Amino acid sequence: MEWFRVWFYPPQVSQTKKLDYQFYGESFSHIRYERILKRVVDKKGKVDYKKLSSLEKELDIYISELKVASLEKYSSPEKLALFINAYNSFTLKLMLEWPNARSIQEIPKIKRWEDPKWNLANNKISLYTLEHKWIRENFSETLIHFALVCASNSCPGLKNTAYTGQNLKKELEEQARLFLKDPKNIRLDLDKNILSVSEIFDWYREDFGKEEGSVMSFILKYLDDMNLREELEKRSSKIRFEYIPYDWGKNDSSL
């Protein structure tokens, strides 16, 4: 099974010390991007891609602004907020470039996550590099898995406001709690003591383990459903995990 994880799962990374959320210095302006999000993202975090296509020029301008960002000006939370917004905006642009794709998986692999076509702070990078090198390796923060959105139904919902360094911890924690409120991401079979959860918890189980000691500990920390929490705590020694198959269908609000 270990060989399967090496070949088909996201890479393990050597993470740095815990993210310091102290905010200082300058902020990068995400106003243009936030205006777009407010117009195209619904309450469930899905995207109106038809409407987004009419705003593509605005999105292009924002992406061009990311190109000239000066990272040395920003504190750690401001950098991470910038990287998350960049990842999500690049993904939106990618989906516009492939309008007939019903899933990001239908985009040829060479043009999908590993294409170094994006320019961030005058660095040509791929979505893979941005997620696993720039973000996961430099910021030991498991909550990012509820903020990075790969345009799929089983992804966390896309927030309709931009992430900010000043409020980043609160914003990320809210996203984790929203994810764990959705029964499509977590459900308990009381008869079989099986907790079914999103595959995100399987793919990044090492990250969750580093954060809270285990996937279960992480879930209990951010789970708002008190009844479910009580059952999990009561049955903790009996619970077996199963992972809900990922729905890679496009997170299109019109579908």
pLDDT tens digit string along 167-194?
999 999 999 999 999 999 999 999 999 9
Rounded to whole angstroms, the Cα distance separating 145 from 45 reads 15
5 pLDDT exceeds 70?
no
Rounded to whole angstroms, the Cα distance separating 89 from 112 reads 14
61 pLDDT exceeds 80?
yes
At 213 the pLDDT is 72
At 11 the pLDDT is 84
Token readout for 233 is 């705590």
15-50 pLDDT per residue, tens: 666 888 999 989 999 999 999 999 999 999 999 999
pTM: 0.94
Dihedral angle sign, alpha carbons of residues 126, 127, 128, 134: positive
90-104 pLDDT per residue, tens: 999 999 999 999 999
Span between the terminal Cα atoms of the chain, in Å: 36
Rounded to whole angstroms, the Cα distance separating 89 from 75 reads 21
- In the chain, what percentage of residues exceed pLDDT 90? 85
* Element housing 196 (H / E): strand 194-198
Q: Is 139 exposed, middle or buried (0-12, 13-18, 19+ CB in 10 A)?
A: buried
